[in-house]
A and B are shown apart, each in its own frame.
Chain A
Amino acid sequence: MKYEITYIQENCSGCLRCQLACSRAYARSFQPSAACIKIESRGAEYRIIFTKDCVECGFCADNCLFGALTKTPKEVTA
């Protein structure tokens, strides 16, 4: 199943749970640098960026408890 991942940068707390979930699943290691979602911090702001390797699995959204990431199933077309 693929998901549409939507994000609200203002809600991001910088906890990096999204990166930990992604790297745990795909790099078999807790390794933010290997995650397909990047959280860049600049001053009081966080920027959420998805890399081209993102497979839209939604694990990142499952692990966000701050309401910064949400997922909705993508429609499957024949």
Chain B
Amino acid sequence: MIKGGFAGRILHVNLSEQRTWTEPVDDALARDYVGGLGICIKLASDLIPRGVEPLSPESVFVLGVGPLVGTDLPSSSRMYAVARLPASGTVGWCGAGGYTFGAQLKYAGYDHIIVSGMADKPVYINIEDARVDIRDAGAMWGLGIDDTCESVYRDLDAQAGVIAIGQAGENKSAIAMAFVDRISTLGRGGFGAVMGAKNLKAIVVQGSGGITVSDRKRFNKLSRSLLNSFREYKYLKEWQELGMLKAFPMVSIDVYKRMKERRTACVSCPVGCKEVVRIPDGPFAGLVKHTSSALNLFTPMMYGMQDPWEAVKLITDLDSYGMDMFEFFGLMGMARELAGSGVISLTPEEPEIDLTSFSSMSAWAERIARRQGTGDLLADGFSAVLEKLGNEAKQHAPALIKGIHPYAGPGAALPWDRFGTMELGQVLDPRGPHVGSGGSPTYFAIRPLEVFPKHLKRMGIPENVVDRILGPDRNKLHVGRLLRYSHAWFAMLGSLGICARGQVNRFYNADLCAKAYEAATGIPTSTDDLRKRVDRVWTTFRELNIREGLDASKEALPDQWFRESGFKEYLTGEPLSKKQAEEMKKEYFDEWGWEG
């Protein structure tokens, strides 16, 4: 039944047995779970053992890309991993711009990789088309992300996609992430530790094959038309020029231009939000950094660091260790309070904790990544620290959801305080806090209500539901009801492999997604079919987590969100009450037809 789009095979790697094998992508699996994120979730549901410890040899993780990845449909490079995560304890999706890895995986002949077991020494998985082997990674172990990738690139003639962990992942830190092609991040919640616990340093893939589509003429027409929409977008050049700084101008354009080397893009993306920068002067002059966004590089300035180049250098170090910067700063803020109140004692050789100081943060980044001194305690993440230190520590904790610090809200990194779908979604997504756009119109912009109907239609929300979301007079916003459909839209884009960032997903709509999917795969798919399938994906995701212990206590709204300088109501900008947010949660469950 599958006639195109899919590479057609799932690669299994059992690290304990040092064995690899493949199986075909089952027709029914492809039809019912769409691909990419959807199939990752279904495979995880089938293969992750009930109650498994995230860092045990029995833990299994699934990687995958959707059926549009590898084609020229604009910005279709998104990749996902699903695993039980050590920080949250839930089974979570981890999403990343696939850069080259996603497409290379398809060209090598695989849609998904399932990794099980644990190697008895450091290894990496090397994939060259049909040839897959598990290689010794002794020489890579101990290296940061950049050096790991460079060591791979050095030995190859052609381009390769690389997923790698740094020292934080090797040391099984709950704030460790994996990096895709040293740029995109995979896994708030400790996905890097999941790889590290398996002694898996990296996955390297090179593919020389190709992806065909079922109906070339129809697919090419859709793709060409879509590319023209991007071409005619009046802000395209501005996005290409500024990247994510267009949305969040955290530093002056002058500072940005002084360091910008070039714009880079995931395969097939005509916008490009990744970039290469070079520090122009000062003690770190000449440092080159590949990043998923210059925005990230200036995050330390949100915590009071003054020098932009010190900020860039610090994030370069955190990325190299393979650490989640949001968790790092959240933990350091808490550790500062714990040390100040005497709950913990720093050792004499440990520097004072000062979030505004480069030397302090740089030293602490290393201590956590290498588990030195107090860094060993902090490396296990919020939940472990609070459990170990008891009630005395809890009053010093920032807002936490499933043991992870959200990106926005009081004390968090981003200067964004409107409570839209992404903010409520920090609580109601089983994976816990994340920075993956759900593609709704409330995403990082204050938009007038008049534009909502067109966006809601684009997301595939039926007309009769729009009244429930915006009210019959279209003058209200029921964030909880909208989040239910934002989760479905996110699942649709993720299952196909399309980027959900606002500057990209604005060109997509559910009808177009269904047509592109059908043209690529040959699987008969109406818009309604696709809607039902992605609802199945998200429902499976929730059911899997309920099976693994997700309950109301893990979906509690943090009290810190409703104190002074807390979140604001999206439409009015008035302070948001906990009662209002609780009502949104009820509406979310009601819209799904689930018990909350």
Structural contact, B267 and A16, CB atoms closer than 8 A: yes
Whether the Cβ atoms of B211 and A30 lie closer than 8 Å is yes
Chain B residues, CB < 8 A from A11: 262
Is the CB–CB distance between B220 and A14 below 8 Å?
A: no
Q: Which of A13, A16, A20, A30 has the most CB atoms of chain B within a 10 A radius of its CB?
A: A30
**Which residues of A come within 8 Å of B, CB atoms?**
10-17, 20-21, 23-24, 27-34, 40-41, 43-44, 63, 65-66
Q: How far is the CA of A28 from the CA of B211 in the complex (A)?
A: 9
Which of chain B's residues have a CB closer than 8 A to the CB of A27? 210
A65 engages B268 (CB within 8 Å): no
The 4 closest A-B pairs by CB, nearest first: A31-B210, A29-B210, A15-B265, A20-B72
Chain A nearest CB from B256 CB (Å) reads 16
**A13 & B220 in contact (Cβ 8 Å cutoff):** no
Which residues of the other chain, B, contact A28 by a CB distance below 8 angstroms? 212, 216
Residue of A nearest to B261 (CB): A44
Q: Is the CB of A30 within 8 A of B72?
A: yes
A20 to B266 alpha-carbon distance, docked (Å): 13
Please give 11 more A-B residue pairs, beta carbons under 8 A apart, in addition to A44-B276, A44-B290, A65-B231.
A12-B262, A13-B265, A13-B272, A15-B272, A21-B72, A30-B70, A30-B213, A32-B103, A32-B107, A33-B208, A63-B227
Shortest Cβ distance from residue A69 to the other chain B in the assembled complex, whole angstroms? 13
Number of A-B contacts (CB under 8 A): 83
In the complex, what residue of chain B is closest to A18 when comparing beta carbons?
B72
- Inter-subunit contact B210/A15 (CB<8 Å): no
Q: Which of B481-517 contact A (CB under 8 A)?
A: none
Contacts of A33 in B (CB 8 A): 107, 158, 207-210
A33 CA / B207 CA spacing, docked (Å): 8
Q: Are A17 and B72 in contact (CB under 8 A)?
A: yes
* CB-based contact A30/B290 at 8 Å: no
Task: Give chain B's interface residue range (CB within 8 Å of chain A).
Answer: 35 or more
Contact B265 A14 (CB under 8 A): yes
The residue in chain A whose Cβ has the minimal distance to the Cβ of B207 is A33
What residue of chain A has the Cβ atom nearest to residue B220's Cβ?
Answer: A24
Q: A15-B269, A44-B276, A44-B290 are in contact. Are A10 and B262 (CB under 8 A)?
A: yes
Looking across the interface, which residue of chain A has its beta carbon closest to that of B272?
A13
Q: Please tell me if B414 contacts chain A, counting CB pairs below 8 Å.
A: no
Q: How far is the CB of B224 from chain A (nearest CB, A)?
A: 9
State how many angstroms separate the Cβ of B291 from the closest Cβ of chain A. 11
Q: B143 CB to closest chain A CB, in angstroms?
A: 17
CA distance A15 to B72 in the complex (A): 10
Those of B239-259 within 8 Å (CB) of chain A: 240
Contact with A along B211-235 (1 / 0, CB 8 A): 1110010001000000100110000
Give the residues in chain B near A20, CB-CB below 8 Å: 71-72, 267-268
In the complex formed, the residue of B with least CB distance to A9 is B262
User: Which residues of chain B come closer than 8 Å to A40, judged between CB atoms?
Assistant: 159
B236 / chain A contacts, CB cutoff of 8 Å: 65
With a cutoff of 8 Å between Cβ atoms, the chain A residues found around residue B261 in the complex are: 44
Contact A44 B288 (CB under 8 A): yes
Q: Is B270 an interface residue (CB 8 A)?
A: yes
Contact B263 A13 (CB under 8 A): yes
Closest B residue, CB atoms, query A35 = B210
Check A13 against B262 for contact (C-beta < 8 Å).
Answer: yes
Bound: A33/B71 CA distance, A: 13
Residues of B within 8 A of A23 (CB): 210
